[in-house]
Structures are given as structure tokens and as C-alpha cells.
Amino acid sequence: MVTQITSFGRSGLYDWMMQRISAIVLALYSVFIIGYLVLNPDLTYEQWSGLFETTWMRIFSLMALLSVGIHSWIGLWSVSTDYIKATGVRFLFQAVCGLAMFVYIVWGIQVLWGL
């Protein structure tokens, strides 16, 4: 039996809820970005840069970035616990995925907030 040590949440229900909430955030972000691009066909760099300079857009982008991390971790954890039976290989896979997501999130925060 697989233990919950590397799971994102405290229970399967919590993971399920986080998966659904992160999916909603990602859907809203995608709809907004696509809508913005469609409604501004002659988009310039200044307009695009101006959009991402606003605090609300940075927060929305940060929420989307964190949602990608949460959503992908829960999905990859579920797949790895279902299909990778060897504990060492599964742990290595999860460690590599976790490290990659951590690096991407830190990098994304630096890009968004200019840290």
C-alpha cells in the first residue's frame, strides 16, 4: 500500500478539491488571456507589458502559476503511485518532479515580480 507521505494534501478528498480549484483558476486565466488577445488584435509590447505591471494581473498570474504546480503535483503523484510500483523508483520520480516544479515556481515568481 502506498503511504500518503508524498501526497499534496491530508486526504484524498483534499487532493480532489485542490485539483478542482486549481483547474478552475487555470481555466479562468486561460479564458482571460485568450479573450485579451482576441480583443486586442494589434497588441503592442507596451500594452502587454502594461497589463503585467498591474498588481491584480501579477496576483492572478501568481495564482495561475501556483495552480499549475498544485495541479501537476497531484496528477503526477496519482499517476506515479498507480503505475510505478518500485518504491525507490517512485520516490526518485516524485523527487525529480517536485524539484522541477519548485524551480519553475521560483523562476515564475522572479519573472512576475522582478525579484
Q: List the domain boundaries for the chain.
A: 12-114
Q: Give 7-10's long-range contacts (Cβ < 8 A, gap of 24+).
A: 7/77, 8/70, 8/73, 8/74, 8/77, 9/74
- According to the annotation, is 36 in a ligand binding site? no
According to CATH, what is the number of the domain 12-114?
1.20.1300.10
Q: What is the pLDDT of residues 76-110, one digit of tens each?
A: 999 999 999 999 999 999 999 999 999 999 999 99
Question: Mean pLDDT in the chain?
Answer: 90
What pLDDT score does 13 carry? 87
104 is in an annotated binding site: no
Closest among 59, 56, 36 to 48, alpha carbons compared: 36
Residue 4's pLDDT is what? Answer: 53
pTM for the complete prediction?
Answer: 0.84
